[in-house]
Homo-oligomer: A and B are copies of this chain.
Amino acid sequence: MRTRISLLGSIAALVCLTVAVSHAQQGAGRGQQAPAAPGGRGAGRAPTAPPPINWPSPALPDGPIVLDTAIQHQLQLVVTKGLNQPWSMAFLPGGEILVTERPGRLRIVRNGVLDPVPVKGLPAVQAAGLAGLMDIALHPRFAENKLVYLTYHKPAAGAAPAPGPGGTPGMITLARARWDGAALVEWQDLFSALPSGNASRIAFGKDGMVYMTVGYGDTPVGNPDPAGAPPQDRMSLAGKVLRLKDDGTVPPDNPFVGRTSSRPEIFTLGHRNMLGLAVHPDTGAVFESENGPNGGDEINVLQAGKNYGWPVVNYGRFYLGPRVNNHAWQEGMEDPLVFWVPASATSGLTFYTGDRFPQWKGNVFAGGMRQGEVPRSGHLERIDFNEKWEELHRESMFWELRQRIRDVRQGPDGLLYVLTAENEGALIRMEPAAGPGKTQ
């Protein structure tokens, strides 16, 4: 059955039939327990999914779902369910998609079908709080070397992984392994940054280097000494984007190599919790997105050695009310390319450069864990720029689905792929809709 959610751009007599379940029933019914994970280096310890972070989302229809959009008109969404808090994805040359699940599993989707058996070969993962298994990226020469790069929170040495929101943070770690066609083998931890509950994205630059984000949290009332906070401290890796060689060592042309009181891994500083990282396939520009506190989410264009301001300047507010800074810019700090007030809880980031959605060519897509106000619905945001990379429009999509969006990527087929962040999560393939009303 094709579910038509044709709300937009049409005159619609809208009747929403909902099957509501009371709040009391939600806890029990929302997949708080992750399925046991088989095999791999973590074998015998079932990765445990942390509880859901925000609000319970309604179940997605099975799809395909038809959605209208502003300029592309009609989309068909093909939904692959059965993922538990999926976080990132990578496209194998044969068409399979590898999907990380935050509790510590790697899954494989073939032609829209999820293999029920997780991929073997992963280590124990500290899936506490917001942490867990994070990003995945193929080496630029994957065709030859079959190397897959991942980031994850590694349990402290000797300690069992602490499940649940109160667990000890694991070490944010960059690792690589070889894909043998069915499993990861020869897992190798390359670089551990620091113990942290924050996210870590990775992307390979056109320079062949690994860009790795190491997020930083803060307190609801802010920091009494913003200029002395870890993201401003070049001796700390917190709140930084790192630049590493593909073996995890420091490239000699990093901006702070040989500088005093500086970690040589640092590429940029002054970041908060980064949930998006993308390299423009034509220009090689590295775009990064991060969550502000209450407002002040940002997309930044990274330049070696620059300071992106957190927590000295930001457009948002601390959770108890005060502005982070009354004047959201100061000399020596970079203004964001895009910012959000109120927050969108921006997440995965990609450039659209394909041919399947011609009117979206050159646009940036950003996931969102909320819809702009009190957390009620995530969305997928399309941002259109002029030739100077000045923002022209933003379009919010997927809000009808009321799912948190964790990641968005362009596939090698020129389609867009989206991951929801839910316990009952899904991979969504976006296609131009066939049939009446299609504009392609």
Query: Given A15-B16, A321-B385, A390-B317, A9 and B372 touching (CB < 8 A)?
Result: no
CB of A76, distance to nearest CB on chain B (Å): 15
> How many residues on the A side are at the interface (Cβ–Cβ under 8 A)?
69
Contact with B along A325-337 (1 / 0, CB 8 A): 0111100000100
CB of A57, distance to nearest CB on chain B (Å): 8
Query: Given A9-B55, A11-B26, A390 and B322 touching (CB < 8 A)?
Result: yes
Copies in the complex: 2
**A267 CB–B CB distance under 8 Å:** no
| Cα A276 to Cα B376 with chains together (Å) | 26
Contact with B along A1-16 (1 / 0, CB 8 A): 0011111111111111
Q: Is the CB of B15 within 8 A of A17?
A: yes
CB of A225, distance to nearest CB on chain B (Å): 21
Q: Is the CB of A402 within 8 A of B7?
A: yes
B residues less than 8 Å from A16 (CB atoms): 4-5, 7, 14-17, 400
Known A11-B29, A11-B59, A13-B59; 16 more pairs at CB < 8 Å = A4-B16, A12-B20, A13-B61, A14-B18, A14-B59, A15-B18, A15-B61, A70-B374, A315-B341, A317-B391, A327-B327, A328-B329, A371-B372, A372-B396, A373-B396, A374-B393
Contact pick for A3, options B8, B15, B320, CB 8 Å: B15
**A355 CB–B CB distance under 8 Å:** no
B residues less than 8 Å from A21 (CB atoms): 10-12
- Between A4, A326, A342, A376, the greatest number of chain B beta carbons within 10 A of the residue's beta carbon is seen for A342
Contact pick for A321, options B13, B17, B55, B392, CB 8 Å: B392
CB of A259, distance to nearest CB on chain B (Å): 29
Query: Given A12-B19, A22-B437, A58-B10, A394 and B321 touching (CB < 8 A)?
Result: no
**A261 CB–B CB distance under 8 Å:** no
Interface residues of A (CB under 8 A from B): 3-23, 25-26, 29-30, 55-59, 61, 70, 294, 315, 317, 319-323, 326-329, 335, 339-342, 371-374, 376, 381, 385-386, 388, 390-396, 399-400, 402, 437
Q: Is the CB of B335 within 8 A of A326?
A: yes
CB of A243, distance to nearest CB on chain B (Å): 28
- Between A7, A10, A390, the greatest number of chain B beta carbons within 10 A of the residue's beta carbon is seen for A10
CB of A184, distance to nearest CB on chain B (Å): 35
- Between A13, A329, A388, the greatest number of chain B beta carbons within 10 A of the residue's beta carbon is seen for A13
CB of A358, distance to nearest CB on chain B (Å): 18
| Cα A5 to Cα B7 with chains together (Å) | 14
B residues less than 8 Å from A6 (CB atoms): 18, 20
Contact pick for A396, options B7, B26, B320, B371, CB 8 Å: B371
